[in-house]
Structure 1
Amino acid sequence: MYQVTRLTNGLTVATKEMPHMASVSLGLWVGVGGRYEPDALNGVSHFIEHLLFKGTKKRSAKEISQAVEGIGGYLNAFTGEESTCVYSKARHDRFDELLEVLTDMFLNSKFDPAEIEKERGVIKEELAMYLDQPQHHVQELLTETLWPDQPLGRPLTGTEKTLDAMARADLLNFLRTHYVTGATLIAAAGNLSHKRVAKVVARVAPRFPTGKRPRFVAADNAQTRPRCRLFTRKTQQTQLALGIRTCSRHDERRFALRLLNTILGENMSSRLFQVVREDRGLAYNIYSSLAFFDDTGDLVISAGLDTDNLPRTLKLILGELRRLRNAPPTASELRRARDYVVGQIDLSLENTESQMMWLGEQLINYGKIIPAPEIKRRLAHVTAREIRDVARDFVRPERLNLALVSPLKSENNLARLLRF
């Protein structure tokens, strides 16, 4: 059973009791990420995430790691467009120690100038590493193409320019104004008691800075024709990412989109995998994926292939998108897609870490917990015609965006293919 307690200062505590488990997973979430950043501070959320590991008033960076790893646990973090999370996992009887380490990192990090400079260099190396990977670079390029000149289109890591310009005062000011109780959630899952977790958190809650969750800049979805972006570099393959702007996570059509994505390219029995790889051998891997945000979303088709096969592969991809618009999937195809998604939901909630992640994502993104059985019920009611209709809503020329990292010198001939 999921339980949620909202403390008087605005801090939220959520748990999933799993008494049969040996572990407990704990996450300290903040409903702030890349799209909350002004242009000049692009990458500040990710920078702060790194610096939370670099020493507090009573622990060095090494001692932070030792405090968790020394009790048989592990510690990690991530930054997204709309949230940041620092999390850990250990044996259930070590919960108090995990909570003490995470709150120490969150409340007492020193942001030592020497550590800031070191980490600035580390993040630049991370940025260079991603740009050296064409399959990652093409996704960054697509993001810029889907959401030009706005926060959603900027890299979460920031750029060399913004990283170089970011001062300690900028980091501390963003932390002070954004990492507040109204945006903060402590989520835990495992062999625990909600009552006890809420009581322990309540003791440290007064130390958290109070405030309401900040707002972000709304997405600008203006687009009147297909867009194509090419980055020319000497590579063995062309990396392709075709993005389609869709709807937000609050839109009822998201359930039909989830099944459409499975039919299109989520697994090895999908249409794209069968047509492009199995039938014609044009790519080693091709897949589609969904991303939902608070006010918009996207469906992305990704592939790596021989440059000579690019026009043919792109025509096949567009042919499958056209097919989704023209006719509903068969009853058996719909059944398989639904069974796959339902199975993936169940498998994704098997352990304490995945349950903690579910809690955090639900409460940060929706402000409430939508139970898995309710999501499965909604998926069960999606019809084949609704899948066709949602394809007609979103698979349109003015929503198409193509990004390529390739030896090609020009994308002009490809841009003409982005038509229905």
Structure 2
Amino acid sequence: MIKYSLENGMTVLLQPVEGVVSISVGLWIKTGSRDERENERGYAHFVEHMLFKGTSQYSAKDIARIVDRVGGQHNAATNREYTCYYINVVSDFLDMSVKLIADMYYNSLFDDDEIGKEKNVIIEEIRMYEDTPDELIHDVFMECMLARHPLGHSILGTQASIKGTNREKLVGFYQDHYGTDNVVFVIVGNFNIEEARASIDRYFQGSFGRTDGRLPTHDPSPGKIRRRHIPKDLEQVHFCLGTEGLKRDDDSRWGLYILSTILGGSMSSRLFQNIREKEGLCYSVYSFHSSYKERGIFGIYCGTSPENYDRALELILKECRAVVETGITAEELEDAKTFMIGNLALSLESNEVRMGQLAKNEMVYGRDFPFLEIAQKINSVTLDDFNRIGHYLFADKELTLVTIGKLPSGVEDVASIRI
């Protein structure tokens, strides 16, 4: 992997890959929804939309046609801590891809008419999300776990915040957060390094944006809402149960990844086998861990019918207690390690996955984490490490519980849950 910086402060990462015919080109901004002020909810995501809505050279339709007519894929994503724009194409179109992303980055118009239309699009996206309970519940869970913390609010914003924005506000956010020194540009795949550098030098010459408007990194102590229920007329009760996890730079995180794999991260996991396969109580049940610079969240999701809700919750709590009281076997530990390493190896056959991993590692750690180093970190986890993580998560911990749907009649709705 080649890493260098442009005079304008932009970081560039290049990783040629043999045996493929394509490239993945990504522009990553070290800004997400956690960088929004109270009166800017949803702006990071709105700006992401606007970079596809026309530049001084290309209309929104032109941007779509340029990529579509060569069989490529282009998209973007806004996270809590970053925003990404990417193009996947056959290697012959490297220069076109760099030029297009650079034009979107430097020259987007933020046209008033387009902003008006996009408000409606995003409001419909919010409504769609609110009608998808197995996705909505993760946002509500984050809001409860990180109440009053910048990480806790929805990436999409609210209908009110979207309706209340305008061109001046969006351009201001864009200029404050999209400075060239806040950008990581990545190319992965089958390409010539000299040609790639020439294209980057050609299209990313100028400095852009200002940095004085960025929020300083801060980590206010979040409040916690231990119980929330959203009544909806649904066939299932969707619920998330969880507690504090680990920050993304915590050295113990590898043990937590293994714990999540064993508890609910695969088809052979304890939750999947005992709740779905053995009891037949649900279609979907899994554990997850979301790690950020300042905080980490560990959770378990399940969707089940109202009559099965109490039993499913009881069994999930039983598995959490078992992690603390009886731990795991050496065989489970080794199986989880080989699962994680094999899963990572398969994922890295995708240029897009490689591109994203390079960018995120650079933004988080300032360096790459090669496959062999990650494998070594995973293999170094011991049973004692696992037990420490299990006790950290669950021993005498009060958990947060979020439910969406119709709670069963005759079942007491607890105010709090403790393992």
The two structures share one fold, judged by TM-score above 0.5? yes
Query: Separation in 1 of the partners of 2:210 and 2:197?
Result: 20
Query: Do the aligned residues in 2 keep the contact of 1:146 with 1:153 (CA within 8 Å)?
Result: yes
Equivalent residues in 2 for 1:133-282 (5 A)?
133-209=132-208, 214-215=214-215, 217-222=217-222, 227-282=226-281
Query: Do the aligned residues in 2 keep the contact of 1:15 with 1:188 (CA within 8 Å)?
Result: yes
**What secondary structure does 1:163 align onto?**
helix
Distance 1:369 1:234, change over 3 A: same
2:361 maps to 362
Question: What one-letter code is carried by the residue in structure 2 that aligns with 1:218?
Answer: H
Query: Separation in 2 of the partners of 1:312 and 1:416?
Result: 17
Question: Which piece of structure 1 moves more, 13-22 or 102-111?
Answer: 13-22
Query: Do the aligned residues in 2 keep the contact of 1:326 with 1:388 (CA within 8 Å)?
Result: no
2:79 maps to 80
1:290, distance to aligned residue in structure 2 (A): 1.4
Query: Separation in 1 of the partners of 2:330 and 2:63?
Result: 54
Query: Separation in 1 of the partners of 2:411 and 2:192?
Result: 61
**Unaligned runs of at least 5 residues, structure 2:** none
2:125 maps to 126
Distance 1:306 1:75, change over 3 A: same
Distance 1:411 1:382, change over 3 A: farther
Query: Separation in 1 of the partners of 2:280 and 2:217?
Result: 43
Query: Do the aligned residues in 1 keep the contact of 2:99 with 2:199 (CA within 8 Å)?
Result: no
Q: Deviations over 1:234-264 (max 9, x none)?
A: 1111001112211111001100000000000
Query: Separation in 1 of the partners of 2:192 and 2:215?
Result: 33
Query: Do the aligned residues in 2 keep the contact of 1:10 with 1:182 (CA within 8 Å)?
Result: yes
Equivalent residues in 2 for 1:336-351 (5 A)?
336-351=335-350
**What secondary structure does 1:71 align onto?**
coil
Distance 1:398 1:40, change over 3 A: farther
Identical columns (%) = 33
Query: Do the aligned residues in 1 keep the contact of 2:119 with 2:163 (CA within 8 Å)?
Result: yes
Q: Deviations over 1:275-324 (max 9, x none)?
A: 11111111111111111111111112111101122222112111111111
1:57 maps to 56
1:193, distance to aligned residue in structure 2 (A): 3.0
1:9 maps to 8
Query: Separation in 2 of the partners of 1:315 and 1:330?
Result: 23
Q: TM-score, normalised by structure 2?
A: 0.95
2:407 maps to 408
1:22 maps to 21
Question: What one-letter code is carried by the residue in structure 1 that aligns with 2:98?
Answer: L
Query: Do the aligned residues in 1 keep the contact of 2:310 with 2:411 (CA within 8 Å)?
Result: no
Query: Separation in 2 of the partners of 1:71 and 1:284?
Result: 39
Question: What one-letter code is carried by the residue in structure 2 that aligns with 1:251?
Answer: D
**What secondary structure does 1:185 align onto?**
strand
Query: Separation in 1 of the partners of 2:64 and 2:307?
Result: 49
Distance 1:311 1:337, change over 3 A: same
**Unaligned runs of at least 5 residues, structure 1:** none
**What secondary structure does 2:283 align onto?**
strand
2:385 maps to 386
1:308 maps to 307
Distance 1:212 1:222, change over 3 A: closer
Question: What one-letter code is carried by the residue in structure 2 that aligns with 1:124?
Answer: I
**What secondary structure does 1:369 align onto?**
coil
